[in-house]
Structure 1
Amino acid sequence: MKNTVLIPTYRRPLDLSRCLLALQVQTKPVDQVIVVVRDTDIETWQFLAEFNPQNLPLQTVKVTQPGVVAALNAGLAVVKGDILSITDDDAAPHRDWLERINAHFISDSCIGGVGGRDWIHRDTKIEDDSRLVVGKLQWFGRVIGNHHLGVGEPREVDVLKGVNMSFRTQAIGQLRFDERMRGTGAQVHFEMAFTLALKRAGWKIIYDPSVAVDHYPAQRFDEDQRHNFNEIAFINLVHNETLVLLEHLPPLRRTVFLLWAILVGTRDSFGFVQWLRLLPSQGQLATKKWLASWRGRWQGWQTYGGEWGTRGPLWG
């Protein structure tokens, strides 16, 4: 099997260098490395002009539209490998990353996607907690991530994480990342839309903790600043989640999801119960998150085509 690695990058040349150096020492050599770079990213273009790829078959793709979705779709257009592996510029795959990925795809022709653990480095510490439940979509619409904490044997999951996910190009076919995902950079939940689409098409999605990358969360140059509240980023996150789940869930579960999302929700997408629970500790910030969640739900419903006459009754 020939392996293509696709890396979207933006203004993080030092991180990109670490990522490329990790790919140079893979136990299974890379057959194609695609780095997608914004036209305005002078720092990265300068770095690439001076970088010595050595044994890496490095290919660059220029993109003018902001956001990870546009970058990945531009990269998809030139993929030549049998297996496409996607990682972030602020990640460094372990030496046996591609070798372990290929072993899964070779073992079962029904496997369409493989992902693994991203070991998160924060300053001098590594997040080393553990979880058995990873990448699952519960029946009422709550998504459990935990990809950075997964332990145990390889198993089927519903959702992979963008920093460490690989796909059989035969499974991808004409599928592309959803351009309706909002955001000018990270576009949270873009990978959920992609992997759930493959699940609907009948492909197995596997999570194996030993398929690992080291992840050094770097600065983002958009409205989504990870742990700092930004109203636009919050609305975009909830919009994207709502749109993806409305399209994936069958009618009855879709109705349950909307009720649960509005009444309960999660720490990332507030419902009424979450607002009440966090109001004593977060005060006005909790109210801002709740209102932003409402707007995100409503906008996600509108993008989905939520007028009753367009989609029909949710329970029908």
Structure 2
Amino acid sequence: MRCSVVICAYTEQRWDDLVAAIGALRAQTVPPDEILLVIDHNPELADRAAEAFPGVTVVENAGRRGLSGARNTAIDLAKGDVLAFLDDDAVPEHDWLEQLLAGYHDPGVLAVGGSARPVWPEGVRSPLLPARGAGTGELDWVVGCTYTGQPESETPVRNVMGCNMSFRREAFHHAGLFTEDLGRVGRTPLGCEETELCIRLGQASPGSVILFRPSAVVRHRVTPDRLTWRYLRRRGWGEGLSKALVSRSVGADAALSTERDYLRKVIPSAALRELSRLLRGKRAGGTGLAALCVVVVATALGYLRGKLAGPRLRIRSATPKLVHGPIHVATVDVRNLPLELAVPPRTVGRYRAAQVLVRDGDRTLDVVLLPVRRGVVRLDMITAGAPAPRREFDRPLISVVVPTAHRKAQALRSVRAALEAGYPRLEIVVVDNFPPGPDGDEWLRDEAGKLGARYVVEPRTGVSIARNTGAAATGGEFIAFLDENISVEPGWFDAVAEELVTDPGVGCVTALVLPASLETDAEVLYERLKGYSHTVRRQRLDRETAREDPLYPLSLARYGPGSCTTWRRTTFERLGGFEPLLGAGSPAMAGEDLDLFVRLARMDGTVVYTPHAVARHTHRADWLALREQMRGYGVGLSAMLLLSVLRRPSTVFSILRRLPRGLVRLAARTPELPLSDRAARSRLRQLRRDERAGMLSGPAALAVARRRYGSGHR
């Protein structure tokens, strides 16, 4: 389980705390896989941090000013399966991360939080924050620490504390991001953004667990300015305002459930204790009693103000964060890694970010999104681990099938890329699925012949039919299907052959598919919604996958695109090939790749996803073409599901059981590209509407396809 640790900072006044926190993270018993430091609109601090912390990814807040915007920026960039958040004035214990991650032994746990112990000025607790003995105090939450009334052992809770919390990445798919209308902005003592997110998470995923583990400890520094009467009033007022906004978002019952118990039990008990001290002549009792009253009254007034006059809360963070094109696309090799990468200038506009593929020779290490500043990307932010060792194998013959319809010149580029990939034993067939006549396209035949590829004509329209025809015309032990908009990179065939040859149980290998270009908004939106670069870790997808992914085998994102796959011929033929009723060129428009994966899963087959086989996909650059593509995805998905039920009626129960999670995942975002504006959000909503509208058309499209092609596979 990979873990990303996020620290958000906004001021150089906490520099020493920041240095201590990062030093403690580097000394953890379980080291983080990456450390992200997000600077909240302070360029001078960002430059200083980038120079001072090699190996730490330092980025600037790409959202609204404030802690929530900074955290959302980190979520967009982080690569971990678990994201842990640490305040810039909190120093973790040496086993902090180990204790947090231990809470995820149950797959139903979506968030784990720990305790925060105060580090007092000069080591002495202030009488403004009363406590029983030397333990926690009832008002310690005012300074961001664990307080009396919280559990003392591991137990499920409503929400975690902001200075010491972690979430599975899946949690943000369910609940969205932090609400940028909440949370601290600079020194303004607002809060509750983590509370509101946790409540939304519980509402979106009722069976999930938010776990509190007191053994995951951070030391939270308390500055003298927080131990004043003025700060108590401001903090209480801000808490009340925040709670009012939370109640508008998630409902008063959910927003105040824990607070009601706190006011009924914890505060009266503390008030009686402090009153008793005062009556015994202890001056501190009067101070503690007054502090309790000040905080409770200020909080109540803030809540009342927020309810009566506060603006209606809008969950801006529920909308995925996007960046406009252009984004520079690049590849670097750690064997010859420069300190900086120069980004070429553009005639119009400028690059804001760069998507960088990090490799060690032909082995993939990471894919990172880095900021572009003054035309340069700093590569010293990249931390690369050791590449996976290569397994020795004899290179077999691989048959390559490239179907093409309307983009024949692009298909030839795909063939050239395959030939330049460095694999010695290839058999390439170009299948013309839109020939101008019965004898095919003479130009395409000649050009394919010059490249050493065979030319095959398949006049029956549909990419599934074209792929099946191409497979039948080849003789290799393995069949690689590459669509006309796919270009493989060097080492691609070696990586897929390695998986198939060394493990006879693998029926199909899928690849890491990155965008060839992110120059236009349409390309960026597609990558944001349907991009295939979901992980740089090898994955084996088989019957064991169902234990960790309730949506399997309907989880297309786990497989990758069928337009860039390699199949064992015996497996492919046993499945009967691609379904002619589905796929581009058919009335159903899509769905053929997921259909084949699902049929393989039902035969207890195995798919391996390898990040070392890297290909580039040419996204739709035109907005209208992208809308049509998204509608086609919706048509294909519902047509595929209906076809599965028609083949095996009992399948309907399996689909219905997975439908709620599937809808959540369909609406989820891919946390990869930061920044946002109103126009981008509007376009994103339009694409989602197009996809849903397409799903409604799927049954009719399937009926038309069956009249045209017959009943399909059984």
TM over 0.5: yes
Shift of residue 146, structure 1, vs aligned partner: 7.0
Contact 1:160 1:207 in 2 (8 A): yes
Q: Which amino acid letter does the alignment assign opposite residue 89 of structure 2?
A: D
Change (3 A) 1:47 1:177: same
SS at match of 1:303: coil
Q: 1:298 maps to what in 2?
A: 308
Q: 1:61 maps to what in 2?
A: 59
The structure in which a higher percent of residues are helix is 2
Q: 2:25 maps to what in 1?
A: 23
Q: 1:123 maps to what in 2?
A: 121
- Cα distance in 1 for partners of 2:153, 2:96 equals 16
SS at match of 1:7: strand
- Cα distance in 1 for partners of 2:185, 2:122 equals 30
Q: 1:140 maps to what in 2?
A: none
Q: 2:500 maps to what in 1?
A: none
Shift of residue 74, structure 1, vs aligned partner: 1.1
SS at match of 2:77: coil
Q: Deviations over 1:239-292 (max 9, x none)?
A: 220121343347xx48998xx8xxx9x98xxxxxxxxxx9x958xx89994655
Contact 2:243 2:255 in 1 (8 A): no
SS at match of 2:146: coil
- Cα distance in 1 for partners of 2:117, 2:254 equals 33
> TM-score normalized by structure 2?
0.33
Change (3 A) 1:67 1:219: farther
Shift of residue 85, structure 1, vs aligned partner: 0.2
Task: Tell me if 1:6 matches 2:6.
Answer: yes
Q: 2:194 maps to what in 1?
A: 191
SS at match of 2:216: strand
Q: Which amino acid letter does the alignment assign opposite residue 181 of structure 2?
A: R
- Cα distance in 1 for partners of 2:209, 2:158 equals 9
SS at match of 2:230: coil
- Cα distance in 2 for partners of 1:183, 1:24 equals 27
Ranges in structure 2 where 5+ consecutive residues have no aligned partner: 126-133, 268-286, 315-714
Shift of residue 116, structure 1, vs aligned partner: 1.0
- Cα distance in 2 for partners of 1:256, 1:99 equals 32
Report 1:173-252 matches (<5 A).
173=173, 175-181=176-182, 184-185=185-186, 186-200=189-203, 201-202=205-206, 203-218=208-223, 227-229=228-230, 235-249=237-251
Q: Which amino acid letter does the alignment assign opposite residue 34 of structure 2?
A: Q
Q: Which amino acid letter does the alignment assign opposite residue 211 of structure 1?
A: A
Contact 2:38 2:59 in 1 (8 A): yes
Shift of residue 299, structure 1, vs aligned partner: 3.1
* Greater mean alpha carbon deviation, residues 72-81 or residues 119-128: 119-128
Q: Which amino acid letter does the alignment assign opposite residue 190 of structure 2?
A: Q
Aligned length: 265
- Cα distance in 2 for partners of 1:90, 1:256 equals 28
Identity %: 24
Q: 1:87 maps to what in 2?
A: 86
Q: 1:47 maps to what in 2?
A: 48
- Cα distance in 2 for partners of 1:158, 1:72 equals 20
Q: Which amino acid letter does the alignment assign opposite residue 24 of structure 1?
A: R
SS at match of 1:160: coil
Shift of residue 173, structure 1, vs aligned partner: 1.5
Ranges in structure 1 where 5+ consecutive residues have no aligned partner: 136-144, 268-277, 306-316
- Cα distance in 2 for partners of 1:10, 1:176 equals 20
Contact 2:243 2:303 in 1 (8 A): no
Contact 2:4 2:79 in 1 (8 A): yes
Q: Which amino acid letter does the alignment assign opposite residue 129 of structure 1?
A: G
Change (3 A) 1:6 1:228: farther
SS at match of 1:33: strand
Change (3 A) 1:123 1:281: closer
Change (3 A) 1:16 1:108: same
- Cα distance in 2 for partners of 1:16, 1:240 equals 27
SS at match of 2:111: strand
Larger radius of gyration: 2
Task: Tell me if 1:114 matches 2:112.
Answer: yes
- Cα distance in 1 for partners of 2:164, 2:94 equals 14
Q: 2:678 maps to what in 1?
A: none
CA RMSD of aligned residues (A): 3.8
SS at match of 2:37: strand
Q: Which amino acid letter does the alignment assign opposite residue 152 of structure 2?
A: G
Report 1:130-169 matches (<5 A).
130=136, 147-148=146-147, 152-169=152-169
Shift of residue 51, structure 1, vs aligned partner: 1.8
- Cα distance in 2 for partners of 1:92, 1:255 equals 29
Q: Which amino acid letter does the alignment assign opposite residue 21 of structure 1?
A: G
Q: Which has the higher contact order (CA 8 A, sep 6+)?
A: 1
- Cα distance in 1 for partners of 2:77, 2:58 equals 10
- Cα distance in 2 for partners of 1:27, 1:71 equals 27
Contact 2:136 2:146 in 1 (8 A): no
- Cα distance in 2 for partners of 1:171, 1:286 equals 33
SS at match of 1:30: coil
Contact 2:5 2:34 in 1 (8 A): yes
Contact 2:111 2:167 in 1 (8 A): yes
SS at match of 1:124: helix
- Cα distance in 2 for partners of 1:255, 1:49 equals 39
Shift of residue 39, structure 1, vs aligned partner: 3.5
Shift of residue 228, structure 1, vs aligned partner: 4.4
Q: Which amino acid letter does the alignment assign opposite residue 154 of structure 2?
A: P
Q: Deviations over 1:2-29 (max 9, x none)?
A: 0100111011211110100000101111
Q: 1:275 maps to what in 2?
A: none
Contact 1:183 1:233 in 2 (8 A): no
Contact 1:94 1:214 in 2 (8 A): yes
Q: Deviations over 1:61-93 (max 9, x none)?
A: 112642111111111110110110001010111
Shift of residue 294, structure 1, vs aligned partner: 3.0
- Cα distance in 2 for partners of 1:101, 1:206 equals 9
Q: Which amino acid letter does the alignment assign opposite residue 135 of structure 2?
A: D
Shift of residue 210, structure 1, vs aligned partner: 0.4
Report 1:33-44 matches (<5 A).
33-42=35-44, 44=45
Q: Which amino acid letter does the alignment assign opposite residue 68 of structure 2?
A: V
> TM-score normalized by structure 1?
0.71
Contact 1:130 1:151 in 2 (8 A): no
Q: 1:138 maps to what in 2?
A: none
